Structure 1
Amino acid sequence: MTSRPPHPPTRPAARDVSRRAFLAAIAAGGAAIGLAGCTVISGGAVAADQQGIRLSKDPAPGRAHVVEMYNIWGGTLGNAWVLLAELYEQSQSHTGVRVTYAPLSGNTQIRLQTAIAAGTPPDLAFCTPEEYPQFAGYGVVTRLDGYMRKAGLTEQDYAPAVWKQMTATDGIWAHPVLVDVNFPLFWNKLVFADAGLDPEAPPKTIDELDRFSDAILKKDGRRVTRIGTIPWDYYGFSNSMFTLGFAFGGKFMSDDNQVATPDDDNIVQGLQWMCDYAKKVGGASQLAVTAPSQTLPSIASGNVGMAPMTTTDSSNVFKQGDKAKVELGAALFPYAEGLGKPGGATWLGGYDLFIPKESTEHDAAWDFLQFATTSDAGTEANFENATLLPGYTESPVLDEFRKDPTVAVYREGLLAARNIRPTIPVASTYATALDVAVSSAIYGQTTPERALKSVAAQVNSALDEFRKEHP
């Protein structure tokens, strides 16, 4: 494991130069105000035949205050935020909400970063939990600790890993609005039965995952036509590595969150297992398990035995999957005995809302943010309209998740999770470096140990550079 001298906590830049620094970083391509390699939630695009879908709205008239929120989502998820804003307006008479559709360009929030740099940001915007330390470092977000105290919101009101995300830096700068539980393992009971496995018994350990995969595997010559799971394809190489690294008991950051440790011995073992699995099936390039026209996740093909899925994807398979090919069960992801712990592979991502520093309606923005993320009405509306899981555990929505067998495992994962993706100012660098390095190892171009040492070097160098620029 890399050993490095301690660093001071991540702190925001000096406020009188923050916007200039941010503008300079954008010009240099250094501000990752986007979602590069970080998210596994998708809202979908707006289809021509989706009647009634709205992604923007004007504020209710006659209000003393108006807050503007940038909406990055398309489809039903984007529409859910319009509906939530209208519900909030109905709940009080002092604040109207303007929802402005500001979609991503590639993986970047171009409209948001331009507005922040120009000093005319919206009052509310989205970011991932991994992004806010960079925003705080540039000094372009409003600290929320005081609002949290006044609202009586404390650690006891949040799932443990959610609170860990919120407090990874020297203050609270963003608030979770939807939590991404990464990842429950879904298994196809029909594939299990056909392979001679108990269709009601998912794997609990990595060794069992291996044995079940051996039983499920089918090949036509060198081509793999049925596979147990595809461990390098859990929503990209970096997300796959986080999942297997945690399953093997690894730590991606030092305990003080100051040093990146992807070369942790347990993480190396996790990547070695992935590489060995790829070799055992004949190579990652030999898969022929889904038709090119398939739009549902690969497990819906009937040729994949086990796969992790997001709430959106699992819901789609439950609703649209061919019942002759797929019958799903769900459980927490397996762990490596002797290294990891039961439930330890589960980690959290998702999205937060934050208040840009130079916005004009901080108090009103917090009022709407609090309604959206902690009120019964707000969290219930987001569940009904978009199946969003809040990090605020006092919400009655968690009981709704418990009652619904198709999503109950996400509630279980939320409460069981203790791990988070690295929450640092250079999180996008970390994810990108993992994508490249893990891919190289899986395809036999380097060893797991060398791959992960290269990631450690890149990320810690980027951290050092950020701290020099923003002491």
Structure 2
Amino acid sequence: MRISRRQALRTIGGAAGLAALPGCTVVEGEPPDSTQGLSKKAAPGRRTTITFYSLFGGVDGQGWVDLATRFEAVQDEIGVEVVYAPTTGQGEQQKLLVSIAAGDPPDLAMVIPFQVPQWAELGIMTDLTDLARGAGLTERDFLPAVWQGMRWKDRVWQLQWDVDPNFPFYWNKQLFAECGLDPGRPPRTITEVDELSAEITQVGRQGASRVGTVPWQVAGFANAAFTWGFAFGGTFVDPETGQVTPDDEHVVAAVDWMAGYARSLGGADRLNVAPPTLQMNPFGYGAMGMAALGPRSVKQILEARPDFSYGSTLLPYQPPGADRPGAGTWIGGWGAFIPSEAKHPEAAWEFLRWFAATPEGTLAEFETVNYPPGYLKSPAMERMRSDGILRPSYDAMLAATNIKPSLPETNYFSQQLEIHVARAVYGEVSAREAMRVVKENTRREAERFKNQMGL
């Protein structure tokens, strides 16, 4: 299906950047000072040359160049041209969308897994089901949440090469000890988080100088809603109707819980636990007891404060909705797909399958791009398990059963959560009213998309 440039940019571009904020590890980097080393020409003398669009800058982008070079070294049929195609300031993959609209896409490009339903319905993705079946790939080869995100309407549309578990939970052992708490005993439930926070938090005239935790600071308000909504046992989609359910009682309870923490401090703007110009995650400054974090934030903290004393555990949960630590963990990350008008889909599949679903290729990706794979047979899994910084993410990854809703309107849904959860946290509206508005707006957008596409 050919779509116009205007339709491509309007339909799938607008919310991409906001939706990526969560959980997607690429957003933790900085724009590159130079584009040198982020693109490469294909190795000469190959039977087929494929074009791969990489949106990554910095060392991640250089890693993709190294990874493509490694692929060329292990076989002599396919050359890989890597083209640096960065996102815009709003996070849109503009170069990719324009190429698709013009009918001249690359052979391989990136996708956030929850974008798959919309992009598949727009007809811009190649159905990979038969290729995956022919390669012997099944759900047993991938983490359960990864397998969910690769599929839409019982078909495989992308291979997820990067797994971002949201989130491990960390506590500051030194601060626990200073507050007379057991530094060797982390919370298992959210009720226990509340009890510990009450012992840690200090609020004075200048605001909160010490806090137990800041639950809305989880890579954005939308991600916080997903994380704690799942941890309370909430659901974001009705499995029967396929409609979003942000007004689920457990989701509303989670948003109200976040807003309650802000109220207890005198307002969300009363935090005073880190310098105005952050050089690392606020947790690293020592005045926050507990936080949900990713491994890059932890690494950044340890680089600045090598003696920082912390512990890690699975994300706390809240009964009766949830029943175990880690129940709130969800999987984000990146996948790669073959555009429907790609010139060399078979060769693109060989590269894609190699770095996303073979032992050798996933290990090569982990060594170059350095993102955790979703392929269970990858030797990188053992490396994560034995790495002090990555082990919490490994444990969270294995515990995770959730993904963001796989719906054509998920981008818009995330955008609405970002706006209205913030309003609830800042005391402008109740949690229930905020989630009612999100539901109403998102369902209206879903109908608009269906009518536009004739679904």
Q: Could you say whether these structures have the same fold, taking a TM-score greater than 0.5 normalized by the shorter chain as the test?
A: yes
Distance (Å, rounded) in 2 between the aligned partners of 1:256 and 1:95: 44
1:90 pairs, out of 56, 73, 88, with 73
Q: 1:102-113 to 2 correspondence within 5 Å?
A: 102-106=85-89, 107-113=91-97
1:337 Cα shift? 2.2
1:201 Cα shift? 1.5
1:341 pairs, out of 323, 332, 344, with 323
- Cα distance change of structure 1 residues 268 and 437 upon mapping to structure 2, 3 Å threshold: same
Structure 2 residue aligned with 1:45: 30
- Alpha-carbon deviations, 1:320-344, whole Å to 9, x = none? 13245x3221111100022212211
1:305 Cα shift? 1.4
Tell me the amino acid that sits aligned with residue 17 of structure 2.
L
2:290 pairs, out of 294, 306, 326, with 306
- Secondary structure of the corresponding residue to residue 357 of structure 1: coil
Q: 1:187-336 to 2 correspondence within 5 Å?
A: 187-256=171-240, 258-318=242-302, 320-323=303-306, 326-336=308-318
RMSD: 1.7
1:314 Cα shift? 2.0
1:147 matched to 2:131? The reply is yes
- Alpha-carbon deviations, 1:8-66, whole Å to 9, x = none? xxxxxxxxxx323x534136x23227333333312623655x9x972111100000101
Tell me the amino acid that sits aligned with residue 355 of structure 1.
I
- Alpha-carbon deviations, 1:226-259, whole Å to 9, x = none? 1111111111100000011001100001124711
Tell me the amino acid that sits aligned with residue 88 of structure 1.
F
| Greater alpha carbon shift after TM alignment, 370-379 vs 343-352 | 370-379
Distance (Å, rounded) in 1 between the aligned partners of 2:167 and 2:19: 16
Distance (Å, rounded) in 2 between the aligned partners of 1:360 and 1:259: 36
- Is the contact made by 1:53 and 1:75 (CA closer than 8 Å) also made in structure 2? no
Distance (Å, rounded) in 2 between the aligned partners of 1:126 and 1:65: 21
Distance (Å, rounded) in 1 between the aligned partners of 2:20 and 2:152: 17
- Is the contact made by 1:216 and 1:228 (CA closer than 8 Å) also made in structure 2? yes
Structure 1 residue aligned with 2:12: 31
Distance (Å, rounded) in 1 between the aligned partners of 2:206 and 2:31: 40
1:384 Cα shift? 2.2
Tell me the amino acid that sits aligned with residue 132 of structure 1.
V
1:169 Cα shift? 3.1
Structure 2 residue aligned with 1:7: none
| Greater alpha carbon shift after TM alignment, 306-315 vs 453-462 | 306-315
- Secondary structure of the corresponding residue to residue 56 of structure 1: coil
Percent of aligned pairs sharing the same letter: 36
1:449 matched to 2:432? The reply is yes
- Alpha-carbon deviations, 1:374-419, whole Å to 9, x = none? 1222211222234311111111111111111211121111121111
- Alpha-carbon deviations, 1:162-203, whole Å to 9, x = none? 111122434211110101100111111111111111112211
Number of matched pairs: 448
- Is the contact made by 2:72 and 2:79 (CA closer than 8 Å) also made in structure 1? yes
Distance (Å, rounded) in 1 between the aligned partners of 2:74 and 2:442: 46
- Cα distance change of structure 1 residues 294 and 31 upon mapping to structure 2, 3 Å threshold: closer
Distance (Å, rounded) in 2 between the aligned partners of 1:174 and 1:415: 21
Q: 1:345-384 to 2 correspondence within 5 Å?
A: 345-384=328-367
1:433 matched to 2:412? The reply is no
Distance (Å, rounded) in 2 between the aligned partners of 1:136 and 1:153: 20
Structure 2 residue aligned with 1:9: none
- Alpha-carbon deviations, 1:260-301, whole Å to 9, x = none? 011101111111111111111221110011112332111111
Tell me the amino acid that sits aligned with residue 44 of structure 1.
G
Tell me the amino acid that sits aligned with residue 446 of structure 2.
L
Distance (Å, rounded) in 2 between the aligned partners of 1:333 and 1:246: 10
Distance (Å, rounded) in 1 between the aligned partners of 2:363 and 2:288: 34
TM-score normalised over the length of structure 2: 0.95
- Cα distance change of structure 1 residues 178 and 53 upon mapping to structure 2, 3 Å threshold: farther
